[in-house]
Amino acid sequence: MIYRTLDELVGSENDVRASTFHSRRFLLKSDGMGFSFHDTILFAGSETYIWYANHLEAVYCIEGEGELETVDDGKIHPIHPGVFYALDKHDKHYLRAKSQLRMMCVFNPPLTGREVHDEQGTYPLME
């Protein structure tokens, strides 16, 4: 059994920070579950360009207000508590946080824990 608390992750090596978010990573590749699970905070007023070319992601919003804009069609999807979305086609998108957003995220393949978005908005595949 794996048992972790948010308190033990905050400020640890599994609390990965970037300019627009920080991601508290509960499950990683090394845990052997076949996916990773993250509690991610997007900073109010931020915009993040994301293209998970190497991963599929599912997201559930539990706090805040924002929007997701898919690049290929320009559609804007409101984000607020209770909204779920899955990037099942490696969708290029912008994630905008009107207020602080708190998102629960699942990645497949799982992240190793140190990934941050590169200049193309992608997480690299890491061993």
What is the distance between the alpha carbons of residues 63 and 112, in angstroms, rounded to a whole number? 26
pLDDT tens digits for 88-121? 999 999 999 999 999 999 999 998 876 665 565 5
pLDDT tens digits for 74-83? 999 999 999 9
The identity of residue 21, as a single letter, is F
pLDDT tens digits for 8-51? 999 999 999 989 999 999 999 999 999 999 999 999 999 999 88
Q: Is the pLDDT of residue 127 over 80?
A: no
Smallest Cα–Cα separation from 48: which of 111, 94, 112, 113? 94
Smallest Cα–Cα separation from 48: which of 105, 113, 122, 126? 122
- Token pair 């905050």 is found at 10
pLDDT at 85: 98
> Cα angle vertex 58, ends 55, 59, to 5°?
130
What is the distance between the alpha carbons of residues 35 and 100, in angstroms, rounded to a whole number? 25
* Fold (topology level) of 19-108: Jelly Rolls (2.60.120)
> The dihedral of CA 105, 108, 110, 113: what is its sign?
negative
Smallest Cα–Cα separation from 78: which of 65, 63, 88, 87? 65
